[in-house]
Structure 1
Amino acid sequence: MSTVICLAAGYPTAYVLSRMRGTMRVMLLCMVLLPFWTNILVRVYAWIVVLQSHGAINQFLMGTLGIIDHPLKLVFNYTGVIIGMVHYLLPPTILILDSTMRSVDQRLVLAAQSLGATPRRAFFRVFVPMTLPGIRAAAVLIFIMGLGFFVTPALLGGRQQLTMSMLINQDFTETVDWSFGSALSVVLLALTLAGLFVYYRMQRKAGTRPNGGLHA
């Protein structure tokens, strides 16, 4: 879920970033990189303050907008975990997509429009296919990063939202079930390697496809 949300939010953001030049690009890039300059524990505890029942979001929805009567439960559950993971994974997603989009020759998009394609059709039939390698790279990277998440789910999700890394830690430190913890570690490693294998297979097929997979 965090991978899908990051791609959906990161693609348009990366597109805008790739089209920016000069000071505006530097400012937007600094906003994207801002989470990297803050310790992960500080970010997680900040989200707890913001998302709690009397936090800024619930106070804004109840007091300012008046669209809800009771505070929403946004932390110590699945919702809080997804928010925290997306906040952490979105910057690398944007950077990967921005790097790919900046390498796309915009003259191809203009050529498609000069041949009668609408801007929307040129975008989806020319520009998007040429950024597929970046989409695949971003999807695999953030998915693998999400597999090993521990701090964010542990603090924003509580004991009810268990990830594999939390379960492995629990087996090694609390229940002292080293055999099951070792088995889960192997499964986590296998999932990571499987994701990389799928990515390289897709990259190889894209590389052997005529014209880089772009069809008129």
Structure 2
Amino acid sequence: MSERPIRVVIVDDQSLIRLGFRMVLEATDDIDVVGEAGDGEAGVEAVAALSPDVVLMDVRMPGMDGIEATRRIRRGHPDTRVLVLTTFDLDEYAFGALRAGAGGFLLKDAGREELVAAVRAVAAGEATLAPRITRRMIELVTTDGAPAPRPHRSPALTAREQEVLDAMARGMTNAEISAALFLGESTVKTHVGRILAKLPARDRVHAVLIAHGLAEPGDG
């Protein structure tokens, strides 16, 4: 018997964008759009009523924005993952949503395959941030001429776990880490799980923020 489809709620104040995402996602066999909302407050209510696996969350919306909605969803429904949507290449709003607990980041002009892959990745807890995204995150929290945050070094991590964390911080996927460090992908997954437990970090994205000095271990 196949696994049940990934349940998705789309939160965006533009109905045409919601329709476009719905059409793309529902064309796949393993994703089911179970609800939509036009603002953050309605999105929080939809999550409470529908218990989706993933929320596609716009950042800039009237009323409750995506940052506050993400924060409330993650606090009240920790099993629901949030994939942040924005038209910008990571502005302060999107970064704030990541700090609030979002598990991934996606531009609204992403292609069909990229959107589907991102939903699947976030649902599986494998979400990561591309290198250009992590670089932009650092730029947003440093002032002109200020040094970048110091990378996190934890005495609780083994040397190999630190290598894996550093690779995660560079935006590498488990498959890429496996190839780079000559490890089996299952071994990489084991290391990632131990890293999240030892930091502690709520998820992979939080671990990346910690690795770049942009969040504190155990924060959030």
Structure-1-length-normalised TM-score: 0.25
Query: Which of 1 and 2 has higher RCO (CA within 8 Å, sep 6+)?
Result: 1
Q: Please identify which structure carries the higher helix content.
A: 1
Q: Please identify which structure carries the higher strand content.
A: 2
- Structure whose CA Rg is larger: 1
